[in-house]
Structure 1
Amino acid sequence: MSRLLMSDSVGAVVATVMGGLAMTFVGNEEGLRLSRYTDIRGIKTICYGETEKAFFDKIYTKKQCDDMLLNRLEEFASNIEKCITKPMSPKTEVAFISLAYNIGYGRFCKSTVAKRYNAGDREGACNAILLWSRAGSNPKALIKRRKREQMMCLTGLK
């Protein structure tokens, strides 16, 4: 269980704040589409950038998409918390969740971002988020998103 779903009273407050921040941040970055579409790389996608269940050609409700996103964010948070060995502020973790949600947590855990953070170079880790700006053949397709993630990460260091 990640910090997004903590159950004790202090943890519940952290989870509520983090979960809300993660839902809002990632949801805004991904955008909501209730029917299946093909993303910039040609991948079938639904809701907030979800690819796992995108083979269904159906219309989803906002609630279904929100529930799917919350479940996936918990999965991503749990995996990030396994590969990041140093303490993270909620904002830094949300930035990492957003990046991992977009590139996959396996790639995130092997990334320069994770390696630098675990080595104690927290600012360098936040700056390394910008290395992931390519989508398809466009090397700068995700630069605005990555800059927002970088700023969220850096804000979490203060």
Structure 2
Amino acid sequence: MGQWEGLRTEAYRDIVGVWTVCYGETKGVRPGDSYSKAECDAMLAREIIAYEAALDRCLTADVPIGMRVALVSWTYNVGPAAACRSTLLRKANAGDLTGACNELPRWNRAGGRVIRGLTNRRMSERAMCLKALEA
């Protein structure tokens, strides 16, 4: 996830104006917040565990590890509430794993606009997801 989120140790406003820091952390971030790389790395590790647990509460299908990694990355970016309400997870839970992977590119908007970086991220997550199904 770090490769897509990027590391910024000083708080900044993201593309839709949300205060963000480290690898895309938004919870409780205020202007002027600052962290070391080690603090950001630890924060990301904790968040990945939390987002994976949130995904596990609504993903009932057994999926290959590569697909799981792609879905945790996506959930980290879109949030567990949106992930759990999604057509993507409905398809996965119904056993349509290929269909679920193919939903990822639809999640390429922020503030109602298509964002090139999100399009690139979703295509990468989709490729990882589909590759896991080939194995």
Tell me: CA distance 1:84–1:37, structure 2 relative to 1, closer, same or farther (3 Å).
Answer: same
Gaps of 5+ in 2: none
Counterpart in the other structure of 1:105 = 80
Which residue number corresponds to residue 76 of structure 1? 51
* Percent of pairs with identical residues: 39
Contact residue 31 and residue 48 of structure 1 kept, 8 A: yes
TM-score (norm 2): 0.93
**Deviation of 1:38 (Å):** 0.7
Is structure 2 residue 113 aligned with structure 1 residue 148? no
- Divergent runs of 4+, >6 A: none
1:4-43 alpha-carbon deviations (Å, 9 max, x no partner) = xxxxxxxxxxxxxxxxxxxxxx010100001001111111
What secondary structure is seen at the aligned counterpart in 1 of 2:21? strand
Give the match for residue 157 of structure 1. Answer: 133
Tell me how far apart the structure 2 counterparts of residues 52 and 140 of structure 1 sit (CA, whole Å). 22
How many residues align structurally?
133
1:90 match: 65
Conservation of the 8 A alpha-carbon contact between 1:46 and 1:53: no
- What is the CA distance between 1:151 and its match in structure 2? 0.7
Distance change >3 Å, CA 109–CA 137, structure 1 → 2: closer
Say which SS state the counterpart of residue 29 (structure 2) adopts: coil
C-alpha distance in structure 1 between counterparts of 2:112 and 2:64, whole Å: 34
Higher strand share: 2
* Other structure's SS at 2:95 match: coil
Which protein is richer in helix relative to its size? Answer: 1
For structure 1, the residue ranges without an aligned partner over 5 or more in a row are: 1-25
Whether the 8 Å CA contact 1:92–1:152 is kept in 2: the answer is yes
Residues 137 and 109 from structure 1, CA distance in 2 versus in 1: closer, same or farther, beyond 3 angstroms?
closer
Which residue number in structure 2 is paired with residue 9 of structure 1?
none
Q: TM-score, normalised by structure 1?
A: 0.80
1:91: Cα distance to partner? 1.1
